[in-house]
């Protein structure tokens, strides 16, 4: 009997542990205390005779319970960090990214030790569950079967009772819900694939026939930059805004004093909490990339992007992505003339946990690239200082001291270690706000120091930071446009951007997938409007 009760307690605890954690972390979430599957599963195993096949089934059931618990934990992490459920049909590729993030934050030794400890713990729980679920023998077998029958009957009653309030708040079917959700996502993913393939084949992919393509730019360099995790929460959450907004206001004064013009807007990003390449790809392609499947279908297609538009208009195309540390075939497919990633960027300073190099160095490198170019240049760049875990937050150096980045060495170990921050939400929020203020300040000083009359800088937030850090649910991000030439900024003002550093109040009316079609239309010599831009505009107002 003790063994049967222990089996039920272990299985019930494993299945509900993710929900207990969610209830502890999220206000208004009620912690359940009974999992229907625990009663039904443990009871059913007790009814079986002890045979080799039933023993094997017990070990398999133990492993399945631990696996279900692990997947439920992963689902909780996805909701809290990316604002969406785990999708086993698409998300297994993220295991590599999780490993690299762990190594970047903890170091190789601690990351490997942590992964080993987790694996051993999971294996130990699976072995324990399998042993406890193994059917009994002899006289004890009859008593166990009677108790098992009681558990099965109790589980059936719980299944019926879970639909009634307030009991439904305390009785759950976590394993069934997980399986049902994943099955639904599997079918939805297959349907989504067909939908996006049709979208790729029917929506215009090229602006090759546009008259006077991008000639209204008059050969001005165009820099499209992304500030990591820069979402509207940084400007609207009172606690975060108290740190970030004053930096924006300082930026406004500095830009004005330097003779620069700035306008700001807000866009809907296709992603929340991470996976920045969805936002980058959406801006470039004019397609709504909300999943890895859509991204990969775009990469495998012949679809042209903003890179092709600029090249066709006579521009040299360059990308600078300091977060990319491995081979990057996607950039080759997109067709940039020059590709700079961490291995090819001449940075001699230290990494800062996940952040490979500080924004100030990246902006300085961008200035060097623009200064060397003799042709009009389209340059796309990703800034990463505001990536989690938001430590350390560096000071801005004198720009003349930046050089190859070695000057950042003294700041290598400043700030709290990430493994301490992850458990302190208040410290995480403070670090996020400070790192966001740093990124805004670095951007502003770059503009003041390096932008000339023939350059326009468009800075997107790529996505909101993790929902469990910001508390924000929406996907809205700020966009800033900076230039010395007022004629270059007029189209943005006509599109609804507000003069200054604050995005307009009210609902967001633009999505990132509208940008390519609009930009080509606004800066070409004739009306380049297309079915694509009309479709994107219609979708954004639904």
Q: Which residues contact 114 (CB under 8 A, 6 or more apart)?
A: 102, 106
Structure letter (DSSP) for residue 92: G
Residue 258 structure tokens: 């330097």
Nearest to 362 by CA among 280, 459, 504, 476: 459
Residue 186 half-sphere exposure toward CB, CA atoms < 13 A: 7
pLDDT at 140: 56
- DSSP-derived letter for residue 29 is P
Q: What is the dihedral of CA 137, 142, 147, 150, to 10 degrees?
A: 130
At 203 the pLDDT is: 62
Length of the chain: 542
Report helix, strand or coil for 499.
strand
Indicate the DSSP class of residue 344: G
The partner residues of 317 in beta bridges, in order of sequence, read 378
Can you spell out the DSSP letters for 426-464? HHHHHHHHHHHHHHHHHHHHHHHHH--TTEEEEEEE---
Spell out the per-residue pLDDT of the chain, length 542, in tens: 677 778 878 888 888 888 888 777 666 667 777 888 877 777 777 777 777 887 888 888 888 889 998 988 888 887 777 777 788 877 777 777 777 767 766 677 777 888 888 889 888 988 888 888 887 665 455 566 666 666 667 767 666 666 555 555 677 788 888 888 888 888 888 888 888 887 777 666 678 778 888 999 989 999 999 999 999 999 999 999 999 999 999 999 999 999 999 999 999 999 988 888 999 999 999 899 988 888 888 888 888 899 999 999 999 999 999 998 888 888 889 989 999 999 999 999 998 888 889 999 999 999 999 988 789 999 999 999 998 888 888 999 999 999 999 999 888 877 666 666 666 778 888 889 999 999 999 999 999 999 998 999 999 999 988 887 887 778 999 999 999 999 999 999 999 899 999 998 877 779 999 999 999 989 998 544 444 443 443 343 33
Q: Going from the N-terminus, what domains does the chain have, and what CATH number goes with each?
A: 2-188 (no CATH), 203-540 (3.40.720.10)
Rounded to whole angstroms, the Cα distance separating 354 from 105 reads: 6
Q: Which of 338, 394, 323 is nearest to 368 (CA)?
A: 338
Q: Is the peptide bond before 166 cis (omega within 30 degrees of 0)?
A: yes
Nearest to 510 by CA among 540, 535, 479, 474: 540
SS3 374: coil
Which pair of tokens denotes residue 105? 């934050």
pLDDT of residue 536: 40
DSSP 375-440: S-EEEEEEE-TTSTT--PPPPPPPGGGTTTTGGGGGGTT-S--HHHHTT-HHHHHHHHHHHHHHHH
Please tell me the distance from the alpha carbon of residue 250 to that of residue 437, in angstroms, as a whole number.
11
Specify whether the CB–CB gap between 155 and 39 falls below 8 A: yes
Q: 200: how many CB neighbours lie within 10 A of its CB?
A: 18
Give the distance from CA 64 to its chain's centroid: 29
- Beta-carbon contacts of residue 155 (< 8 Å; ≥ 6 apart): 36, 37, 38, 39, 40, 43
Q: What is the pTM of this model?
A: 0.78
């Amino acid at each position: 009997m003790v063994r049967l009760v222990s089996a039920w307690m272990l299985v019930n605890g494993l299945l509900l542990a993710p929900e207990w954690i969610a209830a502890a972390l999220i206000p208004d979430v009620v912690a359940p205390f009974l999992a229907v599957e625990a009663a039904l599963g443990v009871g059913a195993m007790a009814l079986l005779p002890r045979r080799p096949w039933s023993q094997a089934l017990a070990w398999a059931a133990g492993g399945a319970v631990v696996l279900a618990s692990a997947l439920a934990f992963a689902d909780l992490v996805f909701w809290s960090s990316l604002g969406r459920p785990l999708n086993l049909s698409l998300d297994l590729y993220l295991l590599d990214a999780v490993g690299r993030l762990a190594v970047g934050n903890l170091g190789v030794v601690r990351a490997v030790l942590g992964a080993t400890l987790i694996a051993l713990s999971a294996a130990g729980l699976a072995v324990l569950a399998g042993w406890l679920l193994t059917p009994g023998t002899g006289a004890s077998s009859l008593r166990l079967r009677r108790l098992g029958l009681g558990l099965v009957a109790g589980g059936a009653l719980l299944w019926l009772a879970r639909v009634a309030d307030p009991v439904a708040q305390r009785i759950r079917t976590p394993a069934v819900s997980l399986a049902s959700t994943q099955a639904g996502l599997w079918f939805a993913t297959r349907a989504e694939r067909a939908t996006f393939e049709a979208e790729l084949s029917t929506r215009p992919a090229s602006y090759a026939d546009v008259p006077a393509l991008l000639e209204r730019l008059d050969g001005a360099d165009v820099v499209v930059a992304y500030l990591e995790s820069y979402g509207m929460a940084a400007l609207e959450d009172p606690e975060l805004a108290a740190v970030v907004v004053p930096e924006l206001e300082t930026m406004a004064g500095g830009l004005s004093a330097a003779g620069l013009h700035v306008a700001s807007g807000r866009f809907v990003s296709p992603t929340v909490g991470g996976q920045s390449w969805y936002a980058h790809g959406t801006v470039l392609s004019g397609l709504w990339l909300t999943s890895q499947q859509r991204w990969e279908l775009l990469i495998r297609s012949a679809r042209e992007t903003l890179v092709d538009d600029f090249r066709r208009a006579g521009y040299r195309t360059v990308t600078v992505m300091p977060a990319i540390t491995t081979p990057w075939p996607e950039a080759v497919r997109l067709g940039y003339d020059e590709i700079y990633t961490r291995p090819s960027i001449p940075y001699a300073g230290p990494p800062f946990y996940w952040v490979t190099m500080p924004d100030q160095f990246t902006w300085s490198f961008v200035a060097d690239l623009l200064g060397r170019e003799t042709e009009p240049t389209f340059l796309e760049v990703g800034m990463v200082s505001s990536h989690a875990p938001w430590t350390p937050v560096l000071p801005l150096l004198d720009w003349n001291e930046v050089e190859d980045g070695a000057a950042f060495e003294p700041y290598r170990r400043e700030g709290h270690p990430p493994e301490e921050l992850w458990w302190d939400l208040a410290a995480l929020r403070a670090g996020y706000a400070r790192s966001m203020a740093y990124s805004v300040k670095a951007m502003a000083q770059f503009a003041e120091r390096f932008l000339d009359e023939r350059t326009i800088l468009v800075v997107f937030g790529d996505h909101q930071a993790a929902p469990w850090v910001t508390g924000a649910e929406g996907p809205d991000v700020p966009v800033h446009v900076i230039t010395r030439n007022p004629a270059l900024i007029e189209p943005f003002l006509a599109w609804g951007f507000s003069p200054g550093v604050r995005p307009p109040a009210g609902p967001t009316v633009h999505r990132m997938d509208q940008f390519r079609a609009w930009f080509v239309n606004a800066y070409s010599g004739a009306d380049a409007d297309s079915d694509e831009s009309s479709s994107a505009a219609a979708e954004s107002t639904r």
